[in-house]
Structure 1
Amino acid sequence: MSEQKRLSVGDAAPDFRLPDSTGKEVALSDFRGRRVVVYFYPAAGTPGCTKQACDFRDNLAELNDAGFTVLGISPDKPAKLAKFVADEGLTFPLLSDESRDVLTEWGAFGEKQNYGRTIMGVIRSTFVVDPEGNIERAMYNVRATGHVAKLRKDLAV
């Protein structure tokens, strides 16, 4: 597999401005001064992505109480995200990166293994951004199931 960009602890988190499920623009810089969990997932409505989103939904109060904001990003169109939000009762912003520019900049799009084949796609990844806008944690190739529980344990939430 070719070398692709990866973010590391201490790197400045690349800013972005993306539409949410309602079409409203959301920028990472809007959350400066707060800790932000930014997670990238392949596709709204698929089994793994639904499990992960519902885990974030079900743990959102505890994460918020501990000072974390959660943002999910996928290459889905805002209309598909709106259906996903409505179907699953999601209560945090899902952002649309149809161009995959933000996914690529964060190292969450590129070559990955899928059933033994190398393909181009979204690399399920989660980042914690500190209040100053730097990467506090960078986790690539995370599993959909159990990831939020592990994240909460790692963050002592």
Structure 2
Amino acid sequence: MLETGSVLPDLELEDTTGRPVRLTDYRGSDNVLLYFMRSVTCPVCAMHVKDLAARAADLAGADVRVLIVVPEGRSEAAAWQAGRDLPFQVVTGRHGSPHAAVGLMRKVFGAVQQSGSLLVDRAGVVRHAHSATVPTGSYDRRGITAAVAALPLADPLP
């Protein structure tokens, strides 16, 4: 997985309508928290998303845009999103697995999908990275909160 201090590569993502989502579009304007779900059928990951949704106002107040990243295709992601009132965009890989692109695949008797989160600042630098193979350990609420509090402030407008 990417480490704190590394620069996030520009992942090729798309939202549930098929529109491209490029992380470089947020550079200079928004911090981005990517929460990588193990799958849309993971009830533990869904609880984590629910907690993030409850914290949406605080995250938005810190100029943090949250993207929920799922490994399934666009139609599965759209069906999952339709059943929830989320204040966040749900995205998937445009070409390949977004999870694999950031190192969230673990080889244990084949490939096991991991879940976790990355907080990326306006400059594209990873400020928090956390992952786990077991979903119950994949959401580091305290670590995310501390990393959000430590984000560099936006440059004031001239």
TM-score normalised to structure 1 length: 0.81
Residue 120 (structure 1) aligned with residue 116 (structure 2): no
- For residues 58 and 99 of structure 1, what CA distance do their matches in structure 2 show? 30
Aligned residue among 37, 40, 43 for 1:41:
37
How many residues matched? Answer: 146
Aligned residue among 2, 7, 20 for 1:25:
20
* Equivalent residue number for residue 130 of structure 1: 121
Q: Which ranges of 4 or more aligned residues in structure 1 deviate by more than 4 Å?
A: 142-146
Q: 1:146 to 1:15 in 2, by over 3 A?
A: closer
Aligned residue among 52, 56, 59 for 2:52:
56
* Equivalent residue number for residue 155 of structure 1: 148
* Equivalent residue number for residue 81 of structure 2: 85
Cα deviation for residue 131 of structure 1 reads 0.9
Structure 1 gaps, min length 5: 1-5, 113-117
The 8 Å contact of residues 119 and 147 in structure 2, kept in 1 or not, is answered as: no
Aligned residue among 66, 73, 76 for 2:69:
73
C-alpha distance after superposition, 1:19-69 (max 9, x if no partner)? 111211111111112211112111114311211221121211110111111
Tell me the C-alpha RMSD between the 2 structures.
2.3
TM-score normalised to structure 2 length: 0.80
- For residues 44 and 106 of structure 1, what CA distance do their matches in structure 2 show? 19
C-alpha distance after superposition, 1:76-117 (max 9, x if no partner)? 1112111221212112111112721x32221112325xxxxx
One-letter amino acid matched to 1:18: L
Q: 1:88 aligns to what SS in structure 2?
A: coil
- For residues 76 and 43 of structure 1, what CA distance do their matches in structure 2 show? 7
One-letter amino acid matched to 1:11: S
